[in-house]
A and B are shown apart, each in its own frame.
Chain A
Amino acid sequence: MSSVKGAATSQSYLLGDTLPYPFCPGCGHTKIADYLAQALENLALPAEKVVLVTDIGCVGLTDKHFGVNSFHGLHGRSLTYASGIKLADPELTVIVLLGDGATGIGGAHLLSAARRNLGLTVIVANNFNYGMTGGQHSVTTPPGAITSTTLKGNLEAPLDIPGTLLPSKPAFLARTSVFSVDCVELLTRALTAEGFALVDVWDLCVAYYAGSNTLNKETIAELMTELEMPAGALYEGTRPEYARAWRALYLPETADEEGMCYAPPDEGLSPVATSTLSQRTSILIAGSAGQKIRSAATLLGAGALLSGLYATQKDDYPITVRTGHSAAEVILSPQPVIYTGVEIPDLVLILSPEGLKHVQAKLGSWPESTRVYVEKGLVPGGGLATAATIVELPLAEAAKTVHRLAIGAVGLGAILGREELYPLEAFRVAARKLQKAKVAETNIAGVEVGAGLAQLR
C-alpha cells in the first residue's frame, strides 16, 4: 500500500500536517482512511462538495485528517445527519464512516436509509467489537468470540450487514476486508453509485478483538467462509435515488385540498351575516367517534365568524379513531374569547350513548339555564339526573332523511333554529367554503331538517 501512503502526504484529501492518525499501531482504521483518500483521489471530487459524516467510535476520529467538510455527531446517529444533509442538498457527496458499534445502535437508521435508497456512501469499519470503550461485543461479533462482555464466548448471531439490507435493493452493497486488494475499487464504486451504497470492511482491532480471538489477515478470509458472508460486490440496484426522486415527485405539486380546507381561497370567513347574540355562549357537542362531531363543530364556529362573532373550538376524544366518544366545545361570543374552557355549558347536544356517557358525571352540576338537546332514544324512563332543561328530539330519525352522518348537522340545526345564535345562512356559507360540495350539501340539508324539527316543536 505504498502508493496510498504516498497519497496521504502529497494529495489534497488528507491533511498532511494532521498525520499520523491517532490509531493503535496495526489498527485497520489506518488502512480504511487511506483507502478512502485514494478513492476520493481516483474520482477527483471537489473537496468543498464532499461531506464526511462520522460518529462516536475510534473510526470517528478519522474526519479531522480529511480536507473535506466534516460532521461528527452522536454515537450511532451519523446516518441521520447524513440523511438531512443529502435531502437538503442532493448535489453533495455524502460519506458516512461508522463502526460496527454505531451500526448496531443506529440499526433503524441504516435500514431506513437503505430502504429509501438515499444517496449516501456508507463505509462500515467492522472490527467486531467496541474498541474505544475497551473491547465489548457488538452486533457483528462472531459466535463464540471472547470480548469483555462475552467472557465465556458470544451467544448472539452476528449481523450480516449487506445481507440484511439486500431486500431493500439499494444501489450498491459490498463486503471486503482491510487486507483485500479490491478495497479501493469497491469504495470508488460505492462513491459513484446512484443511491444508497454500503461497503462492509472487515477490520482488525489490534488492541482488543484481534488479540483475544486470533484474528489476522489469513483468518479474516476464513471467517467470511465460516459465517457464510462472502466478499466482493454483492448487489447493484437500479432504484431511483431518494433525494432526487422526492424532489421530482413532490416539488412540482400544489397543496392537496382533501376534505377540510383551512385556507379558503377567497375572502376567508369575513362576515356575510349579522348576529344578535349578546353574550358569550358555550355549546358542548357530545357524540360518538365517526359521527363527524369535530367537523360539524368547526362549521358551527365558522358560521359564527361569518356572522361577525368570535368563536373557539376545542375537541375531546380518545386516542382511537372510530370508536368511543367524540366531543367538541364551541364558544361563540360578540367579544374575543379569552378563556377557552367551558365551566358550565349554556347549550349541550347529546347524539349517542357514548356522548351521554361522556357527559354523565357533569349532568348533575348543570343548572336549569343549561339547555340540553338530546337524541330522543337516549333519555331513560326516569329522565336524566340533572336540573338542566331537556329538549328531546328525534335527531337520528330526522337525519335518516338526509344521511346517517348528518346527525350532528341536524342537532346543530335544531339549536340554531331555536336559540337564534346566528342566521342559518351563515352555516350554509361555512359549509360551502370549508367542505367539498357533496359533504357541504349533506350538512346544509341536515341543518335545515334540524331547524325544521325545532320549529315544529
Chain B
Amino acid sequence: MIEFLEGNDAVVRAAIDAGCRFFAGYPITPATSILTGMMRELPTVGGVAVQAEDEIASIGMCLGAAMTGMKAMTATSGPGISLYSENIGLAIMGETPLVIVDVQREGPATGAATKGADGDICFLRWGTSGGLPVIVLSPESVLECYTLTVEAFNLAERFRAPVFLASQKEVGLTREPVDLAQARAAAAPPLARPVASPDEPYLPHGFAAPDEVGPLSPLGGPHLVRYTTSMHDQAGLLTKDPDVIAAMLTHYERKITDHVDEIARYELEEEAGADTLVVAYGVTARAAREAVARARGKGARVSLLVLKTLYPVPERLLADALAPVSRVVVPEMNLGQYVEELRKLADGRELISLAKMNTELLTPEEILTQGGLL
C-alpha cells in the first residue's frame, strides 16, 4: 500500500514495528512530529508515550523504562542532544539499549529551527564525556527512516548501547511515496531483547571475551538488578581497581569496535577505471547520486560510496573504496566534518571537501562542478 509519508512518520511506524513500547520526548522543531506521532500511535499497541518536562527528563525516563525491559526511543534536535549529553554517557555506562533520533537542524544554539543541516555528526559521536564509541546511522530517504530505525533498535539490543539516527529536516519533514509492506520486507526482522536466564545468577555487566555482550535482566524480574552511573565491575558494584576499570572500558569499546563490519551499512557503486570517489551520506547522498549519474552520462568515470553507518567509522570499507582512486569528493551539509575521517585514510590522495551550511541542499550541479567530476 503506497502512502505519501514524511521521514518522521516512517520513524514512528518503524519504531512500533521494531517493538518500541516506551517513548519520552520534548517538543522541538523539526522532531516534534515524532513525539506527537508516538503519543498517537504507541497507545494503540499498549505502549507508553509521555511528554517530559525537558530533554534531560526525556532521556532519563527512557533509560529507566528501558531497564524494566521495554524497548525505548526518544527524539529531538541538536539543542536537545546538548541536553541529552550526560545521559548519553549513562546509556553507555549502564549498557542500556536506547534509540535516539536527532532530526538535525542548522545550528549552533537555537540556529535555524525549520532548516536542515548535518551539523551534529561529530557531536553525536563525541557528545559525551569519556570518548567511548557509539553507533550513528544516517538515513537519506523516507524509506530509510523506516529501515534504519528498525536497524537502530536491533543494534541497540545487540550491543546494549545507545544508537543514534542522524536524520535531519530535509529527510524527516520531506514527504515521499513509501509502501510500508515493502519497507517491512526490506528491513531486518526486529530483534527480541536477549534476556538472562532466571535460573542462573545474574551479572548486570557480564562478559568473558571483551567484546561479548551479556543479556539484560529487567528491573522487577527474577534477579535483583544493580545499575550505576559510577565506574563498576561486572556485578554493577562500584570499583576503584584500575585493572577492573580498564577491563570494563575495554569491554565498552571493543563490543563496538570489534564489530565495525557487522555494524557498517552502505552502498558502494564502484566503476571500473574511476579515478574519483564521491563519499556522501544523509540527504546529500541524493544530490551525489544525481551528480554521479550526470557525470557518467557525459562519459566520466566516477565511483560512489553512500554511508548509512557513520560511526563506528567503517575504516576497512573506506580503505578498500579509496584504494583504486586518487581523488575523493566529500559533500556535506556542514562545515566539513566527516571529511576528517576520510583525511585519516587519504594517504596522499586529493581530498575535496564540499562543505555547505547555508540551510540549502547541496545541488547536483555544485557537486559536479566543484567536485570536478567531469
A-to-B contact residues, CB < 8 Å: 47-49, 51, 53, 55-56, 63-64, 67-74, 77, 79-89, 91-92, 108-109, 111-112, 246-247, 250-251, 253-256, 262-264, 267-270, 298, 301-302, 305, 310-319, 337-341, 343, 434
Q: Are B219 and A305 in contact (CB under 8 A)?
A: no
Majority secondary structure, B binding face: mixed
Closest CB pairs A-B (n = 10): A80-B60, A84-B64, A268-B1, A84-B61, A81-B64, A88-B65, A84-B65, A112-B53, A341-B361, A313-B175
A87 touches which one: B61, B86, B287 (CB < 8 A)?
B61
Q: Are B219 and A255 in contact (CB under 8 A)?
A: no
Report the bound CA distance from A81 to B46 in whole Å. 21
Q: Are A48 and B220 in contact (CB under 8 A)?
A: yes
Given contacts A48-B220, A88-B48, A263-B3, contact A340 B286 (CB under 8 A): yes
Say how far B265's CB is from chain A's closest CB, in angstroms. 19
Q: Are A92 and B68 in contact (CB under 8 A)?
A: yes
Chain A residues with CB under 8 A of B57: 77, 79-80, 83, 108-109, 112
Confirm or deny: B177 has a beta carbon within 8 angstroms of a beta carbon on chain A: yes
Report the bound CA distance from A49 to B223 in whole Å. 10
Q: Could you give 12 example pairs across A and B, Cβ below 8 Å?
A: A72-B228, A92-B68, A246-B50, A255-B41, A268-B2, A298-B4, A302-B4, A311-B176, A312-B176, A338-B286, A339-B290, A340-B174
Q: Are A85 and B67 in contact (CB under 8 A)?
A: yes
Report the bound CA distance from A313 to B5 in whole Å. 9
Chain B residues with CB under 8 A of A92: 68, 219-220
Report the bound CA distance from A92 to B68 in whole Å. 10
Q: Are A71 and B175 in contact (CB under 8 A)?
A: no
Report the bound CA distance from A48 to B86 in whole Å. 28
Total A-B pairs, Cβ < 8 A? 207
Chain B residues with CB under 8 A of A314: 170, 173-175
Q: Are B64 and A83 in contact (CB under 8 A)?
A: yes
Say how far B209's CB is from chain A's closest CB, in angstroms. 27
Report the bound CA distance from A319 to B238 in whole Å. 47
Given contacts A48-B221, A85-B219, A246-B48, contact A72 B65 (CB under 8 A): no
Given contacts A51-B219, A80-B60, A251-B46, contact A316 B1 (CB under 8 A): no
Given contacts A69-B225, A314-B173, A319-B113, contact A89 B286 (CB under 8 A): no
Looking at A89, A108, A302, the one whose CB has the most chain B CB atoms below 10 A away is A89
Q: Are A71 and B64 in contact (CB under 8 A)?
A: yes
B-to-A contact residues, CB < 8 Å: 1-6, 9, 22, 24, 29, 40-41, 43-44, 46, 48, 50, 52-54, 56-57, 59-70, 72, 86-87, 90, 113-114, 170, 173-177, 179, 219-230, 237-238, 283, 286-287, 289-290, 293, 360-361, 363-365
Q: Are A84 and B174 in contact (CB under 8 A)?
A: no
Report the bound CA distance from A338 to B267 in whole Å. 15
Say how far B371's CB is from chain A's closest CB, in angstroms. 15
Majority secondary structure, A binding face: mixed
B4 touches which one: A91, A311, A338 (CB < 8 A)?
A311
Q: Are B175 and A318 in contact (CB under 8 A)?
A: no
Given A73-B63, A88-B69, A92-B220, 10 other A-B residues pairs in contact with their CB atoms under 8 A: A48-B224, A70-B228, A80-B57, A84-B60, A85-B64, A86-B64, A87-B22, A89-B68, A314-B175, A434-B4
Chain A residues with CB under 8 A of B175: 298, 301, 311-314
Q: Are B87 and A77 in contact (CB under 8 A)?
A: yes
Chain A residues with CB under 8 A of B361: 339-341
Q: Are B53 and A108 in contact (CB under 8 A)?
A: yes
Report the bound CA distance from A262 to B24 in whole Å. 22
Closest to B12 in A: A262
Report the bound CA distance from A73 to B96 in whole Å. 12
Say how far A46's CB is from chain B's closest CB, in angstroms. 10
Say how far A370's CB is from chain B's closest CB, in angstroms. 16
Closest to A263 in B: B3
Chain B residues with CB under 8 A of A77: 56-57, 60, 87
Q: Are A51 and B2 in contact (CB under 8 A)?
A: no
A313 touches which one: B4, B68, B222, B364 (CB < 8 A)?
B4
Closest to B287 in A: A339
Closest to B110 in A: A319
Chain B residues with CB under 8 A of A318: 114
